[in-house]
Structure 1
Amino acid sequence: MVSTFSFACSACGKCCNSPPAMSLPELFRHRDRFIGCIAIGRVPRKRLGEKLRVGKYETVLDETDVAAFDAIADTLLHRAGDTFSLTTQGYDYPSLARCPALEEDGRCAIHFDGKPLTCEVVPLDPLVPDALQHLVLAGRNQSAAYLGTDCIQEGDRADGKLMVAEGRIEDEAARDALARRRESLAAESKVWGKAVFEALRKELFESPAALARIPAGSFLSISIVPALLAVAGVSARCRQLSLDYIDSQLALIERSIAQALLRRRLDDRPITQELRAFAGAYQRAKTILAVPVRPGDESSNPSQVSEVEAYLSGADC
């Protein structure tokens, strides 16, 4: 069966219907536009002989496929019995059905000013091996049709870029964006992901009752504060960057809730409650971070300090 897909983005904005996944530095950069959160998802471990099917496309996983999935999991994901993804991302009212950076004309307001890397990766998926990206595109082809666009099509189209063909990503820009997004996710795991995962292990990842809160095929959104606390302890500079981010977020949450109250939608109420919980977590974090740093509390590793400070400042984005 042909596994060739082309992609022709018209920048119509139809797929920009929710806030994107964003690295911590990206959220810091756009702190006045995107409310940040941590999204926790459950990623089923792939097995030899398992069938992956999207519409008419079906693949039976062989040893090479399973090894490729495991390599991604070992680098980008976290394991405690099951396998989990921890990513930072934007958070907003689903009733708005739009990215906070989407302009009224359907264009991206930050396309030339720090557009999130995950947007460059569209329509590929960094958690899927390159050889199986045609399944991702097959699924997103169906979603694109639902949204009323034909940006993803089977075959090699003259009016689009050849994206994947026979297990290979053909577009050089797409390969580069995918590699950079995976590098970004690996950096996220190193800088704060592993620390947050261990901090939440007992109360979430090893608790069947708590795990039931993670919806199938979706994410559990929690406050971004655990990630901030993980990086704030590295140096005084990281602490100040985290405090500055918190102040901006508190102001943004206040504005977002005020706008929601004017809309008077019943389906906005759970999100308003969640945002108020985020604000409470930020206030508690400010109290923690306001305590003077004691000698020995910060990292004594100069290379770690410079690495994380550069990371948060966006130098490595």
Structure 2
Amino acid sequence: MVNTFSFACSACGQCCNSPPSMTLAELFAHRDLFIGCIAIGRVPRRRPGERLRAGSHEAVLDEADCTAFDAIAGTLLHRAGDNIFSITAQGFDYPSLARCPALADDGRCAIHLHGKPLTCEVVPLDPLVPDGLQNLVLAERGHSAVYLGSACIQEGERDNAALLFAQGRIVDAQARDALMRRRRALEQERVVWTQAVFEALRKDLFDSPAALARIPAGGFLTISIVPALLTLAQSSARCRELCIGYIDSQLALIERSIERALLRRRLDDRPVTQQLRGFANAYRHARAALADEVVSGFFGRSEIGLDDKPLY
């Protein structure tokens, strides 16, 4: 079994088929382009002896592998009992569009030189997987790339591609640096807002079996970015002003997005339109709270979308 992979990005745009995961600062920088949300995922806890497979590639986890997974979870993720969760800021859009909002008409990234999200630099690696097991990530994503019509990830060494992974480690210096910076950014996000949001929502979401059932296997529960904004707004008066400005931009962007969706007249767009209207409603409530400087205790069950008629 070959455990050597090469990578050559042709900027074909095939993998830019949805909005990326972003930091809160990146969302603020692109407030007129990306609708922001919080994506909550459940991350499996790894145990010694567990077999991980990706196509013909397989690894049997040992103590060192599990220790590496636990180290990542301890700095980037969140635990509630035996469950581990990821909480990240995320761009949000209609899945029917099947494209990143930053993708230009020529298939190129319109913000490549103007604040491209760090997570895009990490592609095709995964910051939540230890470096020594990135070959499994590459094997799985290589098959997906072929399915999408790209051959950017190749097994073995290639003359027209950079050697990315070999002998159990990431050998490309730029890839290692991007992975390190993305992990550092996720760690900083945890300090600034994700841990606070996790604790605030713990009772109504993370400790509730019924609520946890809403997190799809292998997918994400998307909720409004409002809890993150309210956490950030408590830092200073300046942060509160920035959050109000961000909300205003997002309300205008959501309105434009819904208007375009109504013109498309697609039935499968309707649930997303409803969710976007919920986002807008939550933004308006949050803006009023921020303007009145009433932030503490603002979000509960309705604000995370767990009521019968959720705000978002």
Coarse TM-score class (shorter-chain normalised): over 0.9
**What is the TM-score of this pair, normalised by structure 2?**
0.93
- Quote how far apart the aligned CAs of 1:292 are: 4.2
Asked if structure 2 preserves the Cα contact closer than 8 Å seen for 1:2 and 1:166, the reply is no
Which residue type is aligned with residue 253 of structure 2?
L
Q: Structure 2 CA distance, aligned partners of 1:286 and 1:245?
A: 10
Aligned to 1:309: none
Q: What is the identity, as a one-letter code, of the residue corresponding to 2:269?
A: D
> What do you get for the CA RMSD once the two structures are aligned?
1.0
Q: In 2, are the aligned partners of 1:16 and 1:98 still within 8 Å (CA)? A: yes
Kindly provide the CA deviation profile for residues 186-227 of structure 1, in whole angstroms up to 9, marking residues without a partner as x. 000000011000011010001111000000000000000000
How far is the alpha carbon of 1:2 from its aligned partner? 2.1
CA deviation map 1:213-254 (0-9, x unaligned): 000000000000000000101100000111110000000000
One-letter identity of the residue aligned with 2:143: Q
Question: Counterpart in 2 of 1:254?
Answer: 255
**Structure 1 unpaired stretches of 5+:** 298-317
Give me the TM-score of the superposition, normalised by structure 1: 0.92
- Secondary structure of the structure 2 residue equivalent to 1:189: helix
Gaps of 5+ in 2: 297-312
CA distance in 2, matches of 1:250, 1:284: 12
Q: Is it true that 1:71 corresponds to 2:71 in the alignment?
A: yes
Ranges of 4+ aligned residues in structure 1 off by more than 6 Å: none
2:97 corresponds to which residue? 96
Give, in whole Å, the separation in 2 of the partners of 1:47 and 1:36: 34
C-alpha displacement of 1:166: 1.8
Give the total of aligned pairs: 295
What residue is the counterpart of 1:138 in the other structure?
139
> Contact 1:27 / 1:36 at 8 angstroms: preserved in 2?
yes
Output the CA distance in 2 between the equivalents of 1:11 and 1:216.
30
Deviations 1:132-166 (A, max 9, x none): 00000000011001001100000011100101012
Residue 148 of structure 1 aligns with which residue? 149
How big is each residue's C-alpha offset from its partner over 1:50-86, in whole Å with a ceiling of 9 and x where there is no partner? 0001111110000110000000000000000200000
Q: Which AA in structure 2 matches 1:9? A: C
Measured in 2, the distance between the counterparts of 1:48 and 1:198 equals 29
Q: Distance in 2 between matches of 1:36 and 1:292?
A: 22
Structure 2 counterpart SS, 1:10? coil
Q: Is the 8 A contact 1:19 1:90 kept in 2?
A: yes
Q: Tell me the residue number matched to 2:306.
A: none
Any idea what SS the aligned residue of 1:9 has? coil
3-state SS of paired residue (1:184): helix
In 1, Cα distance between the equivalents of 2:66 and 2:182? 21
Q: Give runs of aligned pairs for residues 1-317 of structure 1, distance below 5 A.
A: 1-81=1-81, 82-292=83-293
